Amino acid sequence: MTNWIKAANPLATIAGPDEARSAARMSAMALWLSAAWGGVGFVWMMMNLERIQAAMTAAVAVQTEGQSAEAAALANSIIANGAQTGLIFAGIIVVVQLALGWFQWTRPNRYIPIIFLMLSAYALLTDVFGIVSAGGIGVDATAMNPAWRMIVGLVVAAVCTLLHLGGLRGAIKLDKTAG
């Protein structure tokens, strides 16, 4: 257990190829954590698909108020199956994260941690900025994103960012010891 804690620590020193491999695999753990959270979101979306679609339709109606009939019709046609499309993309993202996590576990490299470090840091920063600019979590909680999802999402994004950072450090050290 101590080795896993050390491997997950992005500030720990990496003393050899075994520790480097363990640290590089933290990026796989982050991908699997993110996929698990995405799976929770997928199930939540499936259970609330009609409510999400209704919220999207209402938002389009507010946004197109006062615009031409053609503009309103175009916006409505785009959003007509928006919830289903979002559900499909969420499922695809979960599958891709699971596959990339497996790949990073079996063949640790630096490219996956670099890409997902940037993506998880971006997710964390945009979530925090969205909450701050909306005036707090209670203000931004909507039918499409309740407060509990926003709070847990922030925690998952922060943990994944740290794990990807540790994974990148381990992958870089692994490349140096191999080459």
The full set of domain ranges for the chain reads 17-178
> What string of H, E and C letters represents the secondary structure of 56-75?
HHHHHHHHCCCCCHHHHHHH
**26: closest CA among 145, 176, 170?**
170
Amino acid at 60: V
Amino acid at 105: W
How far apart CA 2 and CA 9 sit, in angstroms, is 11
Identify the pLDDT of residue 165.
94
DSSP string, 5-26: HHHH-TTS---SHHHHHHHHTH
Identify the pLDDT of residue 143.
56
How far apart CA 96 and CA 31 sit, in angstroms, is 9
pLDDT by position in tens, the chain (length 179): 357 777 777 778 888 888 889 999 999 999 999 999 999 999 999 998 888 888 888 888 888 888 888 878 888 788 878 888 889 999 999 999 999 999 999 999 999 999 999 999 999 999 888 878 876 665 445 556 777 888 899 999 999 999 999 999 999 999 888 76
Identify the pLDDT of residue 144.
62
Identify the pLDDT of residue 116.
97
H-run or E-run covering 148: helix 147-178
Identify the pLDDT of residue 1.
38
Question: What six digits make up the tokens of 11?
Answer: 């500030």
